[in-house]
Structure 1
Amino acid sequence: MTVAHDPTRPAALAIPKEGYFERVEGPHGPLFPKTPANYGFSILGKVKPGREETIRAYAKTIEAAVAATPDVLAPLKLHYLRWLLFPIKGDLYFMYQGIFDTDFDKYMDDALSLFLSTGITTVFVNLEDFPEDWKDNRTAVIRFFREHQVPSFLEYAEYPYVSADEIKKALRMKAALTIALDQLQ
């Protein structure tokens, strides 16, 4: 049974510790549910010693890639992406938080294809336990993400279950309407 969601009414969802309500297997393991914020995951990994500046510089690489080709990350159907560096007991950790419109399996497939097709190296090479042969070993990459995922236990959205494409369409319609109304004045 499909539940109808009102995208104009905020929604929150408490998620069990396992990260899902009912275990449904996908090609790469259990599929996590779509929440009001859509799909997403958070990865926490220990940074290899001496790699902090490399990670920070890599953020500039992504910034430049998006500036040069605004739709370079479009295959990922991202809403938001957030990277954090923080110390835990003297070690440096990296957290990747992403919210997107596809399930985990599709996101992983699309992300690996994107990195391989663009030649952009993934930031995760700077983390301990990330497979050295990541370009040729999809299984090991997926295992890394599964093992380093920290599931959320609450997700909230002001405009729940709305895709990035729907948001962009609404913004284009708003811009067109604004232009039309400005021309009437």
Structure 2
Amino acid sequence: MTTTDQDWSRPAAMAIPKDGYFELERGRYGPVFPRTPACYGFTIIAKVIPGREEAIREHGRTIQSAVEANPNVLDPLKLHFLRWQLFPIGDDLYFQYQGIFDTDFDKYTEDAVMLFSQSGIATTFENLEGFPEDWRDRPEGFVEFVRKHHVPSFLEYGEYPYVTAQEIKKALTLKAAFSTMLDQMQ
């Protein structure tokens, strides 16, 4: 499907092959996964270093505080949403990260490394077993970790497919301006 075929006005679903792509295309850090009706994204599931649960929860509060202080702090990531979960498997604790964003994986990774390196906000991934200590200097190590722990989707759905976060914000800004204009006309 090309960009011109991507109609935002009709919900769309895409079944994704087991390998995560339809045709192997290599990016800077490995296979390029397709843009789906939900845009781009990835999910990882990784084991938490024992004793680090509270550090992960605290990091969630740190991100909340950073966004409250500066609502645009995560803008470089072009996020639609993030979801973090902690859950037990046997005697171990695991962390699940789900992110949907507008850029391809390579760009997202480079932007995340840059953002966290410059902002002083560490990544919560530092609390996961096997995460590279040199992630700030070596984005490919970050990528290797994510790809090793990535659990690909096999179906993605979009109620308003292929629409970027910026397009959604523009539409809502226009809606608010139009509503204000109509209110003033009464």
The TM tier, using the shorter chain, reads over 0.9
Q: Which amino acid aligns with 1:45?
A: A
Alpha-carbon distance in 2 for matches of 1:162, 1:138:
28
Alpha-carbon distance in 2 for matches of 1:42, 1:29:
16
Show CA shifts across 1:61-110 (max 9, x none): 00000000100000000001000101112210001000000000000000
Q: Which amino acid aligns with 1:104?
A: F
SS of 1:182's equivalent?
helix
Aligned-pair identity in percent equals 64
- TM-score scaled to structure 1, two decimals? 0.98
Alpha-carbon distance in 2 for matches of 1:37, 1:124:
24
SS of 2:64's equivalent?
helix
Alpha-carbon distance in 1 for matches of 2:38, 2:75:
18
Show CA shifts across 1:114-136 (max 9, x none): 01110100000000000122222
Alpha-carbon distance in 1 for matches of 2:175, 2:128:
42
CA drift of 1:140 comes to 1.4
Q: Which residue of 2 aligns with 1:133?
A: 134
CA drift of 1:6 comes to 1.7
Does residue 51 (structure 1) correspond to residue 52 (structure 2)? The answer is yes
SS of 1:40's equivalent?
strand
Structure 1 stretches of at least 4 aligned residues deviating more than 3 Å after TM superposition: none
CA drift of 1:55 comes to 0.4
Show CA shifts across 1:8-57 (max 9, x none): 11111110111111110000100000000000000111000011111011
Alpha-carbon distance in 1 for matches of 2:176, 2:104:
30
Q: Which residue of 1 aligns with 2:144?
A: 143
Q: Which amino acid aligns with 2:74?
A: L
Does residue 37 (structure 1) correspond to residue 29 (structure 2)? The answer is no
Q: Which amino acid aligns with 2:16?
A: I
Alpha-carbon distance in 2 for matches of 1:105, 1:166:
22
Q: Which residue of 1 aligns with 2:66?
A: 65
1:1-185 equivalences in 2 (<5 Å): 2=2, 4-185=5-186
SS of 1:60's equivalent?
helix
Q: Which amino acid aligns with 1:151?
A: P
Alpha-carbon distance in 1 for matches of 2:33, 2:150:
11
SS of 2:107's equivalent?
helix
Show CA shifts across 1:132-168 (max 9, x none): 2222222211111111111011100100000000000
| Structure 2 gap segments, 5+ residues each | none
SS of 2:5's equivalent?
coil
- TM-score scaled to structure 2, two decimals? 0.97
